[in-house]
Amino acid sequence: MIHRLSFAHLPTPIEELPRLSRLLGGPRLFVKRDDQTGLAFGGNKTRKLEYLLAEAQSLGADHVITAGAVQSNHCRQTAAAAARFGLKCTLILFGDPPPRPEANLWLDHLFGATIRWTERARRDQILQQTFDELQQQGEKPYLVPYGGSSPTGVLGYVFAMQEFLNQGLEADAIVFASSSGGTQAGLVLGARLFGYQGRVIGISVDEPRPNLQKRVAELANQAAERLGEKVHIRPEEIEVEDAWATAGYGVLTEAESEAIRLFARQEGLLLDPVYTGRAAAGLLALIRKGVFTSEQTVLFWHTGGTPALFASRYAESLIHS
């Protein structure tokens, strides 16, 4: 049985990027605005949370727990959705607590989430420990996996692909940021189920290609099973570009800065420093390498994250370069 809550603003718009396309000499570029999914500054986790929170409710949960980095968009959207549906929320954040909460972290506090700090290596252990403790206290916790990337969360992007196809744009390729793999798994499975023939290219944010291919294929197959569909996707079928992941998670290099400034100055469109900035850097490099012809149409699927622009470590370097 698949449950879904409906709170995202859907369908998200598709917009053309004519000035950027012209500057690059093609292809025709479009953007799908999943930074506008409507929940607390939007982003791709909102689509996943429609299924995840429905599952939490159907299990009688009164408390959601999840984990992420200091500037996690996933944690911010989870905290907002929990507030909206009257669930308590505990976030396990890894990294060093900054001197004062900024950007996404500030919003986590505003949404009333309880925050526990840990080291990255211990995040899964602390997540489980928090779950057990809450249960012992008589609460009914629900564990939202890292990035919302469970087979249930993936369904958000299976149906996002259906939504995109209903919008009627014929795109030769879709390019986007891929990290915990749920977005790509959903898009790939949705492509298979609803008949999208173009390329689905994930720009890896932080994982070597083989790891991400394996995770995406696994998630897609598990989500297919959940839908009762006989589909088998092999890791080699998953298109991942990992040249930009080597800089490390959350590290803003000149490639991301250039992409963020270019989108801002050509189209008035905001990208984020961690995910969409890196994905756009990947897209620009593919275009400059001649991977797409000038007659082709490429969709950049914007996955959100823009509140992180206001974290001072990024904000300062973006305008001083």
**Residues with catalytic roles:** 72
For the record, the structure tokens of 141 come out as 């916790």
The residue with its CB nearest to ligand PLP is 305
The DSSP string of 10-33 is: -SPPEEE-HHHHHHHT--EEEEEE
245 part of the interface to ligand PLP, by CB under 6 A: no
238 part of the interface to ligand PLP, by CB under 6 A: no
Query: Which residue type, as a one-letter code, is found at position 160?
Result: A
30 part of the interface to ligand PLP, by CB under 6 A: no
71 part of the interface to ligand PLP, by CB under 6 A: no
276 part of the interface to ligand PLP, by CB under 6 A: yes
The residue from 66, 78, 130, 180 that contacts ligand PLP (CB under 6 A) is 180
Which segments of 154-210 are extended strands (E)?
173-178, 199-204
What is the spatial distance between Cα 273 and Cα 254, in angstroms, rounded to a whole number?
Answer: 11
- Cα–chain-centroid distance for residue 202? 11
Min dist CB 275 to ligand PLP, Å, is 3
Q: Which is nearer to ligand PLP, 36 or 73 (CB)?
A: 73
Residue 114, SS3 per DSSP: strand
Peptide bond into 99 cis (omega under 30): no
Q: Could you report how far apart the first and last alpha carbons of the chain are, in Å?
A: 51
79 part of the interface to ligand PLP, by CB under 6 A: no
Q: Pattern 37-66, binding to ligand PLP, x per CB under 6 A?
A: ------xx----------------------
Q: Judge contact between 243 and 285, C-beta under 8 A.
A: yes
40: region left, alpha or beta (phi > 0 left; psi from -120 to 50 alpha): left
Q: Which is nearer to ligand PLP, 21 or 306 (CB)?
A: 306
34 part of the interface to ligand PLP, by CB under 6 A: no
Min dist CB 276 to ligand PLP, Å, is 6
Q: How many CB atoms lie within 10 A of CB 191?
A: 22
Min dist CB 182 to ligand PLP, Å, is 4
Q: Which is nearer to ligand PLP, 45 or 192 (CB)?
A: 45
Given the rule CB under 6 A, which residues bind ligand PLP?
43-44, 73-74, 147, 149, 177-184, 272, 275-276, 303-305
